[in-house]
Amino acid sequence: MGIKVIANLPCVWGVCLLLLLPEVVLAAESGSGTWSAWVWMVLLFATTFVIGVFGVMAGIGGGVLFVPLVSGFFPFHIDFVRGAGLFIALGSSLAAAPYLLRQNLASLRLAMPVALIASAFSIVGAQLGLWISALNPAYIQGALGVVILGIAMIMLRTPIRVFPVVSGNDPVAKWLGLQGWFVEETTGERMNWTVHRAAVGLSGFVLVGLLAGIFGLGAGWANVPLLNLVMGAPLKIAVATSSFSLSITDTTAAWVYFNRGAVLPALVVPSLVGVMLGAMLGSRMLPHVPAFMIRRLVIGVLMLAGIRSVLKAVDW
Amino acid sequence: MTEAQPDPLELRVDPEQLGYAQVVVWGNGLGLAVMLVGFIGYLGGWLPAGIPLETLLEVWSLPLPEFLVQTQSSTGWGWLQYLENGDTLALLGIALLGGVTLAGYLLLFVRFLGERKWGQWGMVVVEIVLVVLVAANWLGAGH
């Protein structure tokens, strides 16, 4: 009974947030400077809390929801939103990393080459994103909308494989030592794993890094399909290694935004705290809610946010 | 692919992975603590503000170059000289979060060097160089 009430709380809060949004925006726009700033930050905290809950339950982290929603519906310039988005992905990943590493679900060996490639190209992406934004922020806003709609389609259509069949004689995987084990909780068995098509899979992280840097997105939506479907890592390893590797991947792009002055504590702190608290609640609710429905709901929200980004870009 | 009833000794996680996890615990805790202390001090008015809240409302929708001019904010590491401000202290906490990966990789640098795992050591070296260059504003700098 209790857990059902708790499980429904984010949905109730989400609906309340939507109903109250016009009133709050009006209050924020008509109030004094300090009061309005407070209102925006409280609203940001509440929004990111809900993002944290649903991000965890949909298995995509918070960054990919944060950037399109906050840049679409809040008054902050998109440069600050992207800077905050990277630190939110980074902070959420750091919070999850110790548990995932100690349980051997996240693999350091697998994360290192993945993160190296993605982090190098996220620097290029961050430079490119800030350069395009300086030309005209609408270019970034519109492109973000298109990318988010693409991500929603990928999530909608991509199958997953819990334990893919892997040939086990990939030379790149052998050279990099991309193998390991984890304990399957349901059976208590030790499951050994390795990967294949490592060169193809790793080259995919060039694009992942570029997109993460340009748009300030965490890259869980792309990491998991690449690790699971292309390289053949078991789903648990793919999800956990993706969650952990974001802390490395996003570090370099985050520093580009930080050094350019595009990181505002007033955006980062309420958002990071909101996403972290939401993710804590979301992870506890996970066994009690239908993940399939949540995933569909998040895909719907992503589509709305993508359309809103495109419309904002054309000033409509 | 599976082995029933594994020997507990075989279930030991690589020591470098456990060491990295511990560095993340310390670094993340320190970064979050500094960030929250600075930001609460800033919001509560107990610490001076680099950019007061009423000003922030007017500038957070501006393009970055205009924001920097209007708030006279510095880029790179110039903010370090204003650590008495609550919002700048929060920025230090955020920077510490950005430094956790570097701390973890420095540990891996030593471990892999000691174990002569040259492939992994090489990747660690390149990642450290990338993070240091970009954090020091030598790579990715621009105006």
ipTM: 0.91
The per-residue pLDDT for A168 is 72
Whether residue A232 contacts residue A71, with contact meaning beta carbons closer than 8 Å, is answered with no
Contact at 8 Å (CB) between A281 and A50? no
Query: A97 and B24 in contact by Cβ < 8 A?
Result: yes
**Mean pLDDT, rounded, of chain B:** 89
B72 contacts chain A (CB < 8 A) = no
Domain segments of chain B as ranges: 14-135
The DSSP bridge partners found for residue B2 are: A191
Q: Which of A 125-164 lie inside 8 A of B, CB atoms?
A: 126-127, 130-131, 133-134, 137, 163
Span A116-127, average pLDDT: 94
Give the model's pLDDT for residue A314: 86
Q: Which residues of A touch B67 (CB under 8 A)?
A: 77, 261
Q: Which of A45, A50, A41, A126 is nearest to A75 (CA)?
A: A41
* Neighbour-count burial for A220-250, b at 16+ CB within 10 Å, e otherwise: bbbbbbbbbbbbbbbbbbbbbbbbbbbbbbb
pLDDT level of residue A1 (50, 70, 90 thresholds): very low
Q: Which residues sit opposite A184 in a β-bridge?
A: A189
Q: Structure tokens of B132?
A: 């240091």
Contact A190 B10 (CB under 8 A): yes
Return the minimum-mean-pLDDT range out of A28-32, A50-54, A124-128. Answer: A28-32
Give yes or no for residue B1 having a pLDDT over 50.
no
Which residues are A179's β-sheet partners?
A: A194
pLDDT at site A188: 80
CA distance A43 to A27: 11
**What does pLDDT average to over chain A?**
84
- SS3 assignment, position A189: strand
- Give the pLDDT mean for A19-31: 53
Q: Is the pLDDT of residue B28 over 60?
A: yes
| Alpha-carbon distances of A114 from A15, A138, A222, A231, A295, rounded to whole Å | 38, 31, 12, 11, 25
Cβ neighbours of A263 in B, within 8 Å? 91, 94
Chain B within 8 Å of A42 (Cβ-Cβ)?
A: no
How much is the pLDDT for A8? 52
pLDDT for B143 equals: 47
pLDDT at A287: 67
Token couple for B88: 């700048």
Among A34, A62, A61, smallest CA distance to A47 is for: A62
Residue bearing the bigger pLDDT, A224 or A233: A233
Q: What is the mean pLDDT of residues B87-109?
A: 97
pLDDT for B5: 54
| pTM recorded for the entire structure | 0.86
Phi then psi for residue A191, to 5 deg, are -110, 115
B82-96 per-residue burial string, b: 16 or more CB within 10 A, e: under 16: eeebbbbbbbbbbbb
Instruction: Look up residue B60 and give its two tokens.
Output: 């957070």
Contact criterion met (CB < 8 Å) for A91 and B97: yes
Is B24's CB within 8 Å of A98's CB?
yes
**Cross-chain residue pair B127–A112, CB shorter than 8 Å:** yes
Residues of A within 8 A of B124 (CB-CB) are: 112
Task: Please give the pLDDT value at position B11.
Answer: 61
pLDDT at A37: 86
